[in-house]
Amino acid sequence: MVFPGQGLQGEEFPLQGRGNFFIVWGVLLQGMKVGIRLKNSIGKTLGFLSHDIGIDLGTANTLVFAKDRGIIMNEPSVVAIYTNSKKVRAVGLEAKKMLGRTPANIMAIRPMKDGVIADFEITEAMLRYFINKASRTMKFIPPRVVIAVPSGITEVERRAVKESAIHAGARDVLLLQEPMAAAIGVGLPIDEPAASMIVDIGGGTTEVAILSLNGVVFSQSIRIGGDAIDNSIIAYIKKMYNLIIGERTAEEIKIRIGSAAKLENELEMAIKGRDAIIGLPRTIKISSVEIREALREAVSGIVEVIKIALEKCPPELSSDLVDRGIILAGGGSMIRKLDRAISESTGLPVIVADDPLFAVANGTGTVLQDLGLWLSED
């Protein structure tokens, strides 16, 4: 080993050479310190100049939160592509209008399935669209991005989301568990030494988590969400009426007359579809009682995963939930009387959060305020 003041073979430098060596050594060390300070300074400057954004990358909808501006986008997670070239034709709202209505040379698809990426290239194109649209005024500085992901995804799936975001133009990417984001977004006191329970019912998954002291005590994810509920309605209508309906019609039925428990005044609506036997268009009337039956299996699955989480909760934290109850978030929580159905099954108070559809996106927005700290701990 060569020490300061020695040559390659261990012989000592002359006094003049030794002095020059230490001068050079000192200059190098000083240069390294300056470089580190410069790097940190550049990072902070870029942080101030770039438009950091939070993305709730959902199966049904993608919401984008821009720092200091709030939620700036809420569009369907749909991409329309040309079938031959695979080039993107439209993204978001424009692409959703094409679902089930495209000619042979265009295909409208959902690149997210059950809360995770089903098509990497299309997801990357969708992310690029949202990132570019959000950073329109600062395109020369790539943004830092917070993306909410289901708690149950694998490490491979986490890496896929991160890489897709970086390829789409992100400078740094922080992945935040959806239940944590939802809890932060609805304002739960997750930093206290007491239990808070959140149930986030999204398009592809239902996320259940018990949180305390800024951490997840227990979490469980089940692949039942808005899409599964829509499919249940489609299957029920076909079975009972031999009528084939599409996803958009099923979603409209869910929103207009869907319920998880008995209503004081039951609802009805007329729906149109294609007769499965003769192949001609037909119109029928359905009631909220029928749709409640169609939703029964999906609602039971959500209740069951909540019960599993409660059984796994430590006794001291369980006592907190008797008073604090369960908070519902996500678009699925807006189904009529779902809170009552869960409360009757668990014996706990259940509250639907204010703006449940925006809970996860608002949580990513809160994280953006201290993004440097979160990235350092990631």
The C-alpha atoms of residue 302 and residue 258 are separated, in whole angstroms, by: 16
pLDDT of residue 34: 46
Point out the residues of the chain with pLDDT beneath 70.
Answer: 1-50, 136-140, 378
Buried b (16+ CB within 10 A) or exposed e, 169-198: bbbbbbbbbbbbbbbbbbebebeeebbbbb
| Residues 6+ away with beta carbon under 8 Å from 155 | none
Bridge partners for 136 per DSSP: none
DSSP 347: -
E runs forming strands in the chain: 53-57, 61-66, 70-76, 79-82, 88-91, 106-109, 112-113, 116-117, 144-149, 172-177, 196-201, 206-212, 215-222, 243-244, 268-275, 281-287, 326-329, 350-352
DSSP code per residue over 114-177: TTEES-HHHHHHHHHHHHHHHTGGGTTSPPEEEEEE-TT--HHHHHHHHHHHHHTT-SEEEEEE
pLDDT of residue 15: 45
pLDDT of residue 28: 58
pLDDT of residue 113: 83
pLDDT of residue 32: 55
Mind listing the pLDDT tens digit for each residue in 362-376? 999 999 998 888 877
The C-alpha atoms of residue 253 and residue 236 are separated, in whole angstroms, by: 12
DSSP 98: T
**Do 316 and 242 contact (CB within 8 A), yes or no?**
no
DSSP code per residue over 197-235: EEEEE-SS-EEEEEEETTEEEEEEEES-SHHHHHHHHHH
Residue with tokens 């029964």: 296
**AA letter at 165:** A
The pair phi, psi for residue 25, each rounded to 5°, is -60, -45
pLDDT of residue 326: 97
SS3 content of the chain, % helix, strand, coil (to 5): 45, 25, 30
